[in-house]
Amino acid sequence: MIIVCGLNAVQDLVHKHRVGRVVSLLGPDTAHRTFSGIEPDQHLKLTFHDVVEMMDGFSAPKATDAEKLVGFIDGWDRSGPMLIHCWAGISRSTASAYTALCMLRPKADEEELAFELREASPSATPNRLIISYTDSLLGRHGRMVRAIEKIGRGENAFEGTPFILKP
């Protein structure tokens, strides 16, 4: 099970679902937290702004961030839930969750997985830069990028509603 949420919901969901693995994607101005019940080696902390291109004054996601994300997901033994969060649970976390779906269901159609994400979260607006990096790393030849473009921007929301995906 993959749980996706904003920062404010993390600790409650870790306890409720007995989460053992967490991916945190936060901006440089937001301190990463530790969560009760999560061992340090089971918590990936990535730090960059939610931007989709290089911009002065902002830290954009880098290819090395995507490599760390893919490696962390690849190391998940799936014995317990993984939780992925960003500040609002709308962009960086949904891009990471979509990446996980593509990795864990390698034969599934990227568009079908993107529409599954949209059904689970009407506000999901996956960060396109993260998707472009992971698409390349996974050898998807632009299919992940095109699938996310096809579902388009999600509904406007200040914070996404937590949701669950079944890998």
What CATH number has the domain bearing residue 119? Answer: 3.90.190.10
Q: How many domains are there within the chain? A: 1
Burial 120-148 (b: 16+ CB within 10 A, else e): bbebbbbbbbbbbbbbebbebeebbbebb
Angle at 161 between CA 3 and CA 122, to 5 degrees: 100
Bridge partners (DSSP) of residue 66 are: none
| pLDDT value, residue 58 | 87
Return the residue matching tokens 């996974």.
138
Read off the pLDDT band of 57 (50, 70, 90): confident
pTM above 0.85, yes or no: yes
Structural domain range at position 105: 2-165
pLDDT single digits (tens) 99-151: 999 999 999 999 999 999 999 999 999 999 999 999 999 999 999 999 999 99
Type of residue numbered 52: V
Kindly tell me if the per-residue pLDDT of 161 is higher than 90.
yes
Structure confidence at residue 106 (pLDDT): 94
Mean residue pLDDT of the chain comes to 96
Q: How many CB atoms lie within 10 A of CB 58?
A: 13
pLDDT at 157: 85
